[in-house]
Amino acid sequence: MSLFDMEVLKSYSTARKYNKSEVVITEGAESPYSLYIILSGSVRVIKNYGKFEQSVVGILKQGDFFGEMSLFMKKPRTATIVTAEETVILEITQKNVYEVIRSNPQMFYEILKTLCMRIDELNNRVRSLGMK
């Protein structure tokens, strides 16, 4: 993984293997407040999972992360994450994320950079819809 030093992260996290179509986190859930990093495979980011108006709003793949909004803002999950294939995900609890950031400030920079890119992408989507 290019964004993070995996050797540092492995000592602060737990890896779990998920089968295809398995729910990792559920929209509206309030815990656990963890950061998830995809080691292999891919996931779909889904709004209104299991409802008529369900929509896939993103696909994340190896090296991507999710869970940062709930982790840092302590708010309920904003989407459901479902595996698109067999996937291995590293989970880092809130306490351990803060410890990793203290020992490796570069990780926080990489998270921040990725969040800025996601915001830019959303702004571009809104612009393309004609909403300014």
pLDDT at 43: 98
Q: b/e string for 77-104 if b means 16 or more Cβ within 10 A?
A: bebbbbbeeebebbbbbbebbeebeeeb
Residue with tokens 């306490």: 95
pLDDT at 80: 96
Tell me: the pLDDT tens digits for 14-43?
999 999 999 999 999 987 889 999 999 999
The answer to whether residue 93 scores a pLDDT higher than 60 is yes
Which residue type does 69 have? M
Count Cβ atoms below 10 Å from residue 34 Cβ, excluding itself: 22
Q: How many domains does the chain have?
A: 1
**At 43, which CATH number?**
2.60.120.10
pLDDT at 1: 40
CA distance 50 to 66: 20
Among 73, 61, 8, CA closest to 36:
61
Identify whether 1 is part of a domain: no
Domain that holds residue 48: 6-128
Tell me: the pLDDT tens digits for 71-87?
888 889 999 999 999 99
Count Cβ atoms below 10 Å from residue 10 Cβ, excluding itself: 13
Tell me: the pLDDT tens digits for 40-51?
999 999 999 999
* Tokens found for residue 72: 């840092």
Identify whether 37 is part of a domain: yes
CA distance 45 to 27: 10
The answer to whether residue 6 scores a pLDDT higher than 80 is no
Identify whether 109 is part of a domain: yes
User: pLDDT higher for 101 or 8?
Assistant: 101
Identify whether 31 is part of a domain: yes
CA distance 33 to 29: 10
pLDDT at 131: 57
Identify whether 95 is part of a domain: yes
The answer to whether residue 121 scores a pLDDT higher than 60 is yes
